[in-house]
Structure 1
Amino acid sequence: MTGTRSHDDPPACLPPRAKIAELILGSHPPRDTYLGWQHYRTHCGLLVPAPPISPRQWATTPEDRQADYDLYRQLTNANLPLQDTPMHNKVGKLIRRRLSGNTMKHDDPTRAGVMVSGWGNYGKTASVCSAGAVFEDEWRDLHSYLNPGALPGTRDLHAPVVYVSTPVTATPKSLCMSILGFFRAPVRKTATLPELVGQVANSLHDHGVKALILDDISRLRMHRADDQDVLDLMRAFMSLDVTLILSGVNIPGIGLLREANWNKKTRRWEMPQLESTRIHGLEVTQTEHRFELIELDRFRYTTPAQIQAVINHLKGIERHLRLLNAKEGMLTGGTMPEYLMRRTGGVVGLVGRLLEDGAQEAMDSGKELIDEGLLDEIVLRRDEPEQPPNEPAIPATPVTVGKKPPQPKRHRNTVLDDHGPVRATGS
């Protein structure tokens, strides 16, 4: 019929080459600056995936546009969307609850904070930043995109959320410099620590900051005096009408909250009593009572709810990937979910990396489909999965109860032994 478009016609919604090049080559300012955070907040999740087409459609597309489409779907496959996993939702729910309560307080001099702990590739930064961006959108909308605390006649930037990475060599001065660097505020080289702290306090107030995200907090080590001073400074910030959100690897194990233990019954981290409390009877009012600690977990595959969460996550990735021979159930059918769990240990970041690399390999090889055979060729470097706090550790080799393993016999050194007189030979 004249004027109708067949399903096998070339795609008409493919953006021009200049737009695709802009998406790939466009620079992104650092997230730990005001401009970078605003770019992240306003662009997160807005990438429009490449239109799905069939192999016949691709074959009937002009050669120059085939290259454009392949480039566009490479971009699509490399940018998997952030999904609502149970772990992500747990972090977002706690942060929203804490920010909602803290922003409504009037007389409480200290704002309670949040600590998000987890191992590498568990999605800590992505979950924390996403929750911060959602809060800022809602806060700006509530106040008609104006700073409710701005002074008349001023033009201070309105920054409800500040994102800063903890300095590698953390000192109170370097932390203050990092926070001021978020606003690109001028700082005197000869400024003293009290002057820097005062400037930070004024900046947080003048810019209407309600949430201060400090990422990579696990860089702090409590055996260093400077790091202890940094922790004291962060606690001081909690009295500035600002909610602190700290994110890092294995926070209970680095001494930031003292060595914590996981209680299986209450499913909470519990801090042992301070020595000073046992001796002097002082009340514990340190970091652990000012923060709510949440442990980011990985995917599990035991209960029906856990299995369904994995399937839902893989369905989301499957819908997003652009491969010409992709079919429904490519990632969720057969033994593929179990295979992916075995290869990645359920770590969400490793699942994404394996499938991104698999999609690239599928395109390069011309297979245009992800299966277990193709993923077997992908080298995924990962350590042994960390033992979850609510499951018993399983030793690598069985230990015999009541018997010590046999010790290898040690050979005796006979170099200095006296072997007696040398026997005479022949007469």
Structure 2
Amino acid sequence: MTLHDPGQEASLVPFPAGPVIDRATIEGWARWRLTRRDFKPAPVISLGEYKKMSPRQRYLHDLHRIATHSNLPIQETPMSAAVDDAMRRLIQSNAVKRTERTRPGLMVNGGGFQGKTETVCETAAEFEDHWLELNNYLNPDAVPGTRDLIAPVAYVQTPVTAKPVSTCQAILDFFGEDYKNMNLPTLTRTVRRALKEHATRVLILDDITRLKMHREADQDVLDFIRDLMNITVVVLVGVGISKSGLLREGRQDTRTGEWVFPPVKDKSKSPNDEAVTQTERRFKLVNLDPFSYDTPQNIAAWVSHLGGIESQLRLFNAHDQPLTNGTMPEYLYRRTGGVVGLLGCLIEEACMAAIDSGQERLDFELLEDVGIHPGKIPGLNAEAGEVPAVPEQPAKSKSPRKKRGRNTVFDDRGGASAATS
């Protein structure tokens, strides 16, 4: 079989190469939920097997290795497990309520790049998987004259400049609702109707700290969000929630740890045109912190996390413990501050450099030549704290690292390839 056979080429790249899925739409969320575990890492082969490949096969395998390092699986950490437990219990206990009584909400707080969004989305997706199966993939609340489409979870990103109108529109965008020429009262009624008709049990509002409580419009948005708590469980995700002003009006219940907020007394201050209930709104605040390195237990958890990443590396000259041997765990902690997102950025870039240079292993010298630049990732709002501070990078190596020559596999030399598999 010749190498240019299309069937063989397709089999050599068994990983998705399409656009990033937008979870902020009902179709995108469903697609992400159903495919979130479909990625297949590059196969583990020896250097000898790699050298026996044709140039094009090696190129495709290298591409698959790069994709593997760029899509490291989300690992459970002690911190994310605590968030998962709190969110799972809250959703399950409130999903079966049959009356429009106020449901407690959840605020997930943490720094940038600490995995808040992925943790929350994974917990919500797990719930939706089981909930749909339980209800035979039908809307349990469907009544004649309403839609049959069910959306147990709605994931919405808070607009950068959040106002009641733009927040309503963002929620309606998820459901694909037409809101052209709607005024605010109509928008709020449409949001409430969409949540009910789609049997939505969980509404996730990500990047909630884009709300600035010194702005009157943003205060109205928070009032509106609280008014939705008698329909669905509201999960707010953000950076530095405790210092953002979102909790300014509330008081913390010393017995339960929940934050209690007074109802909106003046109806004119709320965009919700329906009667405001007299039930106080409650949010539980949970933190997703970075790893610590101050006790034997915390160090062991960090090393265990690094060990999980080790099993996904596809470098030919790496020894059995490239990330957990010797002083490497301490070095990686100093570089990343225990932030899992920064660790992922560092490992991804370092593996790319190891493959590109032909070194095929991670060591201190190579890692010192690799910077961490989360600010270059699009869609982050630095003013809302979504770009984390990166620990100071050690001095880079003075000796330049020799790079592998340019790959010429796809150069046209004027003749047909004679390479075979």
What TM-score results when the alignment is normalised by the length of structure 2?
0.79
User: Per the alignment, do residues 130 and 73 of structure 1 end up closer, same or farther by CA in structure 2, a change over 3 Å counting?
Assistant: same
User: Per the alignment, do residues 16 and 153 of structure 1 end up closer, same or farther by CA in structure 2, a change over 3 Å counting?
Assistant: farther
* Aligned position for 1:109: 101
CA deviations over 1:138-160 (Å, ceiling 9, x no partner): 11111111111123475532110
Among residues 204, 212, 215, which one is paired with 1:224 in the alignment? 215
**Contact 1:28-1:36 within 8 A present in 2 as well:** no
User: Per the alignment, do residues 209 and 180 of structure 1 end up closer, same or farther by CA in structure 2, a change over 3 Å counting?
Assistant: same
* Aligned position for 2:350: 358
Deviation at 1:118, TM superposition (A): 0.8
For 2:345, give the aligned amino acid.
R
**Contact 2:259-2:282 within 8 A present in 1 as well:** no
CA deviations over 1:222-264 (Å, ceiling 9, x no partner): 1111001000100110112x0000001100101000199999x
Among residues 197, 211, 236, which one is paired with 1:246 in the alignment? 236
Deviation at 1:124, TM superposition (A): 0.9
User: Per the alignment, do residues 27 and 168 of structure 1 end up closer, same or farther by CA in structure 2, a change over 3 Å counting?
Assistant: same
Deviation at 1:19, TM superposition (A): 5.4
**Contact 1:258-1:271 within 8 A present in 2 as well:** no
* Aligned position for 2:410: none
User: Per the alignment, do residues 365 and 203 of structure 1 end up closer, same or farther by CA in structure 2, a change over 3 Å counting?
Assistant: same
2: CA distance between counterparts of 1:56 and 1:119? 44
SS of structure 1 residue aligned to 2:219: helix
Does residue 258 of structure 1 match 2:264? no
* Aligned position for 2:363: 371
* Aligned position for 1:36: 28
CA deviations over 1:371-423 (Å, ceiling 9, x no partner): 112101112256266xxxxxxxxxxxxxxxxxxxxxxxxxxxxxxxxxxxxxx
**Which runs of 5 or more structure 1 residues have no equivalent in the other structure?**
1-14, 277-284, 386-427
SS of structure 2 residue aligned to 1:114: strand
Does residue 148 of structure 1 match 2:143? no
2: CA distance between counterparts of 1:317 and 1:262? 38
* Aligned position for 1:130: 122
* Aligned position for 1:424: none
Q: Which has the higher contact order (CA 8 A, sep 6+)?
A: 2
1: CA distance between counterparts of 2:228 and 2:249? 24
Deviation at 1:46, TM superposition (A): 2.0
Among residues 89, 92, 95, which one is paired with 1:100 in the alignment? 92
Does residue 63 of structure 1 match 2:69? no
2: CA distance between counterparts of 1:350 and 1:286? 42
For 1:183, give the aligned amino acid.
F
1: CA distance between counterparts of 2:352 and 2:255? 44
User: Per the alignment, do residues 261 and 379 of structure 1 end up closer, same or farther by CA in structure 2, a change over 3 Å counting?
Assistant: farther
For 1:218, give the aligned amino acid.
T
2: CA distance between counterparts of 1:150 and 1:260? 36
1: CA distance between counterparts of 2:347 and 2:279? 43
Deviation at 1:24, TM superposition (A): 4.9
User: Per the alignment, do residues 173 and 103 of structure 1 end up closer, same or farther by CA in structure 2, a change over 3 Å counting?
Assistant: same
* Aligned position for 1:236: 227
SS of structure 1 residue aligned to 2:149: coil
**Contact 1:31-1:40 within 8 A present in 2 as well:** yes
Deviation at 1:184, TM superposition (A): 1.2
2: CA distance between counterparts of 1:96 and 1:161? 13
Matched ranges for 1:12-411 at <5 A: 16-18=8-10, 23-107=15-99, 109-152=101-144, 155-189=147-181, 191-240=182-231, 242-258=232-248, 290-381=282-373, 383=389
What TM-score results when the alignment is normalised by the length of structure 1?
0.78
**Contact 1:98-1:112 within 8 A present in 2 as well:** yes
1: CA distance between counterparts of 2:93 and 2:335? 41
1: CA distance between counterparts of 2:356 and 2:41? 19
Deviation at 1:61, TM superposition (A): 1.4
SS of structure 1 residue aligned to 2:159: coil
2: CA distance between counterparts of 1:142 and 1:73? 38
Deviation at 1:186, TM superposition (A): 1.3
2: CA distance between counterparts of 1:261 and 1:112? 15
SS of structure 2 residue aligned to 1:238: helix
User: Per the alignment, do residues 17 and 153 of structure 1 end up closer, same or farther by CA in structure 2, a change over 3 Å counting?
Assistant: farther
CA deviations over 1:47-104 (Å, ceiling 9, x no partner): 1111011111101112221111111111111111000111111111111010011113
Bigger-Rg structure (1/2): 1
Deviation at 1:213, TM superposition (A): 0.3
User: Per the alignment, do residues 152 and 269 of structure 1 end up closer, same or farther by CA in structure 2, a change over 3 Å counting?
Assistant: closer
**Contact 2:109-2:286 within 8 A present in 1 as well:** yes
* Aligned position for 2:395: none
For 1:341, give the aligned amino acid.
Y
For 2:139, give the aligned amino acid.
N
CA deviations over 1:188-242 (Å, ceiling 9, x no partner): 32x12111111111111111100000001001011111001000100110112x0
SS of structure 1 residue aligned to 2:311: helix
* Aligned position for 1:281: none
User: Per the alignment, do residues 258 and 115 of structure 1 end up closer, same or farther by CA in structure 2, a change over 3 Å counting?
Assistant: same
For 1:248, give the aligned amino acid.
G
User: Per the alignment, do residues 230 and 20 of structure 1 end up closer, same or farther by CA in structure 2, a change over 3 Å counting?
Assistant: farther
1: CA distance between counterparts of 2:341 and 2:150? 33
1: CA distance between counterparts of 2:251 and 2:185? 37
For 1:158, give the aligned amino acid.
I
SS of structure 2 residue aligned to 1:320: coil
For 1:311, give the aligned amino acid.
V
Deviation at 1:108, TM superposition (A): 6.5
2: CA distance between counterparts of 1:252 and 1:31? 26
